[in-house]
Chain A
C-alpha cells in the first residue's frame, strides 16, 4: 500500500520553480523602483524610500515609482488570475478577460464622466470605470442567460462581442463629437500606469481581494469542469453555482485592473498558457502562478517603457506589452505543436 508522498520529484521541481518565480518577481520590483527615466542615482532612491532623501527623490520614488510598481503588481496579478478562470470557464484558449464587456463598459463610463460630468480627476476615473466595468459585465451575462438560462461558453463569447461592440460604438459617437472626451479617452484606452497614485489602490483593493478569494474557491470546480459539464455534475459539482462564482471573480478582478490602468489586453490571454507550461493543469496552483507571472510581466513592461526612450518620455505599458508580447506570441504559435494548446 503506497501512500501519497509529500515531496515527489514533480513536487520538488514545482517548489524550485516557485522559488525562481518569487526571486524573479522581487528582482523585477527592485528594477522598477530603482530604474527610471529621471536620472536619479541608486543611493538617492534608497534615501527616497527611507524618507530622508532629497525632495526630488522623494517625489519620484513615492510619487511615481512605488505607486506604479504596486499598482502594476496588482493589475498584472489580477489579469493573470482572471485569464486562467476565463479560459477554464469558456474552454477557449483564446479567451481574454476583456471579452466580458468589462473594458468596453469601463471606457464608456470614463468618457461619459468627461462628457457629462466634466471630470477628469484620477479618483473619479477609477470609480467611474469600476462602475462601468461592472455594468458592462452584467449586461453581457444578462444577454447570455436571457435565452437559455445558463451562461454557456459559446453564447457568452458572442454576447461579449456584441455588447462590447455596442458600448464601443456609443463611446465613439460621444468621443467624435467632444474633443475633451476624445483626449481623455485616447489616454485612457491605451493602458498605462503613468500618473497613477497610491489612492488608486485604496479604491480597487476590495474588488481585487474578493475576486481573488472567489477565484481560489473556484479552482476545484474548474478542475472538475475541465472534464466536461456532464462529468463534473456526475462528480457532484454544482455547475451553475461554480460558473456564477467564476464569472463574478473574473468580473471583479478585471474591473479592478481596468479601473487602475485602463484596458490591458495581452496579460489575460498569454500568461495562463505560460503558467500551464510551468506548473501543470491543477487550477489551485495555476491561479497563483499566473498571478505572479502576470504581476511580474506588467511591472517589467512598465519599467521597459520608462527606460527605452530617453528623457522624460515613456511608452505606455499597454503598448510595450503588445509590441513585445505580440511577436513572442507569434513565435510560440509557430513553434509549439498546436494540439497542446
Chain B
C-alpha cells in the first residue's frame, strides 16, 4: 500500500488580541460598535437631562441650565433647577439606570427575553407596602409626611421582604431558576391580591393616590429621594459590571458554565440580589415604572448587534428613556402624565414593532 502524500505544512496563524479599546493600562474588550453606541447613548442621556431641566412650566434655555448647574444662575432659575427639577431629573436618570441594569441581568441570566425582576416579587412587595401605608395614613394629618418618608420606606421594606420570601421558598438544596419563577408567581399573586383588596376598600380619593403611585410617578420626588437611590446605584452597578463576564458565560447553559469555571449557584444568588436591590431602590423612589426593565435591554441588544444586552449601554438608554418620558409627561398635556404611563405607551408599541419585523428570529 502506498503511503499517503506528506501533509502540507499549514501556516501557523497567529490570532491577535480581540478587537477592542485600550485606554492606558486598562484594556476593555469592547467591540467597536458597542462602544460607539454606548458613547452615543451617553450623549443622548446628557442632552435629554439638560432638556428636562430646561423645559417645563417655565422654560429655560440649555445655556441657562448649564450656567445654573455651574453655580452662576440667577435666583429664580436657581430655585427652579436646583430645588425643583434637578432632584427629579436625577431620580429619573437613576431609576432608568437601575431598572435597565436589573432587567439586563435578569434577562441574560435567565436566558429568556421575557424575564424581568418582577418575577422575584419585588414590584408586588413594594406595591403592597406602599399602598398599605397610603391607605393607613391617607386622610389623616400624617399624609404629607407619610408620602415623603413612609411610602418609600414601606415600599423598600415590602420589596426586600417579598424577594427574601421568594428566594427562601425557592431554595431547595440549590436555586433552580424554574422553581424560583414558580414560587415568584405564587407569591406575586398573593401580594397583588392583598393590594387590590385594600384598593377596593379604601376611600376613592385614597385609592386614586395609591393608583398614582402604582403606575410609576416622579411627581412627589425631592432631594430626599435622590440619596438612597444614588447609593444603591453607585454600589450595585459596578458590581453588576464586574459580574457581566460570568453572566455572559452562564448564558451558554449551566453545564457549560460550570465547565469553564463559573460558580453558577453563587452567580445566581449574586445576580438575584443585585437585581432585587436595584429594582427595590428604583421602585421605592418612583413606584413601579412599567416596561423599562423589560424593553430597554431588548433595544440595547438590537442597537449593539450583540446576543446579550450590554450593561452600560442598557443603563444609559434606560436613563435617557425614563428622563425623556418624564419630560414628555410634564409638557405634553396640561395635567402631568405619570412617567410609568409614558414608558409603557412608548415601550409596548416598540416591542410590537420589533415583533412584527423580526418575528422569525424571535420564534427560534
Contacts and interface: CB of A to CB of B under 8 A. Distances in A.
* A–B interface present (Cβ within 8 A): yes
Interface of A: 94, 143-144, 146-148, 152-155, 157-159, 161-163, 165-166, 168-170, 172-173, 175-177, 179, 182-183, 186-187, 189-190, 265-266, 269, 315-316, 318-319, 321-323, 325-330, 333-334, 338, 341
Nearest to B204: A183
B189 A325 contact: yes
Interface of B: 113-114, 169-170, 172, 176, 178-179, 181-183, 185-190, 192-194, 196-197, 199-200, 204-205, 207-208, 211-212, 215, 290-291, 294, 335, 337-338, 340-341, 344-345, 347-349, 351-352, 355-360, 362-363
B193 A147 contact: no
Given A159-B355, A177-B335, A182-B207, A330 B183 contact: yes
A148 B183 contact: no
Contacts of A173: 337, 341, 345
Contacts of B188: 326
Given A94-B185, A147-B356, A334-B172, A186 B200 contact: yes
Contacts of A94: 181-182, 185
Nearest to A140: B352
A169 B348 contact: yes
A169 B359 contact: no
A148 B363 contact: yes
A323 B190 CA distance: 5
Of residues A177, A330, A334, which shows the largest number of chain B Cβ atoms within 10 Å of its Cβ?
Answer: A330
A172 B197 contact: no
A166 B344 contact: yes
B197 A327 contact: no
B204 A265 contact: no
B225 to A, nearest CB: 20
Nearest to B196: A190
A334 B211 CA distance: 33
B193 A154 contact: no
A318 B197 CA distance: 9
Given A319-B197, A333-B170, 20 more contacts: A147-B355, A158-B113, A158-B114, A165-B344, A166-B344, A166-B352, A173-B345, A176-B208, A179-B205, A182-B207, A186-B211, A265-B189, A269-B185, A318-B196, A319-B194, A319-B196, A323-B190, A326-B188, A326-B193, A341-B178
Contacts of A153: 363
9 contacts: A147-B355, A147-B356, A154-B363, A163-B352, A176-B208, A316-B197, A323-B194, A326-B188, A333-B182
6 pairs of A and B residues whose beta carbons are closest in the complex: A147-B359, A322-B193, A329-B186, A326-B190, A333-B182, A169-B344
